[in-house]
Amino acid sequence: MFPEQRPRRLRTTPAMRRLVSETTLRPRQLILPMFVAEGLDAPRPIASMPGVVQHTRDTLRKAAVEAVNAGVGGLMLFGIPEKRDAQGSGAVDENGILNVALRDLRSELGDSTVLMADTCLDEFTDHGHCGVLDADGVVDNDATLRLYADMGVAQAEAGAHVLGPSGMMDGQVGVIRRALDEVGHSETAILAYSVKYASAFYGPFREAVDSQLKGDRKTYQQDLGNAREAMRELELDLAEGADMVMVKPALSYLDIINAAADISPVPVAAYNISGEYAMVEAAAANGWLDRERTVLEVLTSIRRAGADLILTYWAAEAAAWLD
């Protein structure tokens, strides 16, 4: 009698496979990142992210309602201002595009979804860095923290339920937490981009936000070969009061997601980023991959690695498929 062990028995029928399936992928676990640009008359396509656009305030509202109706768990909002300056002042201004759009969405959607905001200066600075520069042109950590605190408070006032500090400055979670609490926003949560690597996969995002960056972010984003450092970043953010933590990118860092999930006492998110989206879209457009199956495989693999939540540009579409 050989073989004695026959794992194929548990794969015989769809019902059997469903019964023993380990990993769930549900719409509520998906968060849709969205872009809103100031001064647009009509949505503007992002060439390297087919199907994703820079929204006007109006089309953002409609697309957000559709995504929420499709069942996504939350929305993550990025703003693209008309004018930029060295301090990224549009980020703090209550009339800045991101804050205005947050107010629009909170009044449209109330508490029916979880509204998140990118708390970072790179879309708002004329040099494209995630923080302000010192006299030598180096990103000034502590001067940037003061601006993050103000930006975070402005976003909470505008209606964000969750802030997503993504600039990789040391101490950013603690400073934002303290600033929120001081003005009475102790209910506003922080999704810390705890582990964020200096990745080539951000390429399409730079187009999506008309990034002004020249050079790279390697003095603040992590070296992609380092895993131990990721755990240190995670522990620091937890100590500073992160309510949820994130690993970014996702696909080339599934080991890091897994390690984070092993030690994190709070929910772990992963960001299935622009370049990961673009790769699949490009291959599918050529007929080289089955788009829907590939997308669901990507998302399931990120969940299997240990992510509770996934930020993905496919969130609304995948939610509709899963429903």
Active site residue 214: no
* Residue 233 contacts ligand PBG per CB under 6 A: no
* Residue 194 contacts ligand PBG per CB under 6 A: no
Active site residue 196: yes
Min dist. Cβ of residue 32 to ligand PBG (A): 12
CA end-to-end distance (rounded Å), the chain: 44
Single residue of 38, 118, 140, 281 touching ligand PBG by CB under 6 A: 118
Single residue of 244, 273, 305, 318 touching ligand PBG by CB under 6 A: 273
Three-state DSSP string of 41-92: CCCEECCCCCCCEEECHHHHHHHHHHHHHHCCCEEEEEEECCCCECCCHHHC
Whether residue 277 is annotated as binding a ligand: the answer is no
Q: CA nearest 177: which of 242, 93, 246, 265? A: 242
The active-site residue, picked from 83, 196, 214, 218, is 196
Instruction: Please identify, using beta-carbon distances, which residue of 68 and 98 lies nearer to ligand PBG.
Output: 98
Single residue of 38, 104, 122, 233 touching ligand PBG by CB under 6 A: 122
Stretch that binds ligand PBG, among 13-21, 114-122, 182-190, 255-263 (CB under 6 A): 114-122
Cβ contacts of residue 33 below 8 Å, gap of 6+?
A: 75, 76, 77, 78, 271, 311, 312, 313, 315
* Residue 264 contacts ligand PBG per CB under 6 A: no
Residue 3, preceding peptide bond in cis (omega within 30° of 0)? yes
Whether residue 11 is annotated as binding a ligand: the answer is no
Min dist. Cβ of residue 238 to ligand PBG (A): 20
Q: How far is CA 70 from CA 74, 175, 306, 314, 317, in A?
A: 11, 35, 24, 12, 8
Residues between 60 and 79 that touch ligand PBG (CB under 6 A): none
User: Which residues participate in catalysis according to the annotation?
Assistant: 196, 248
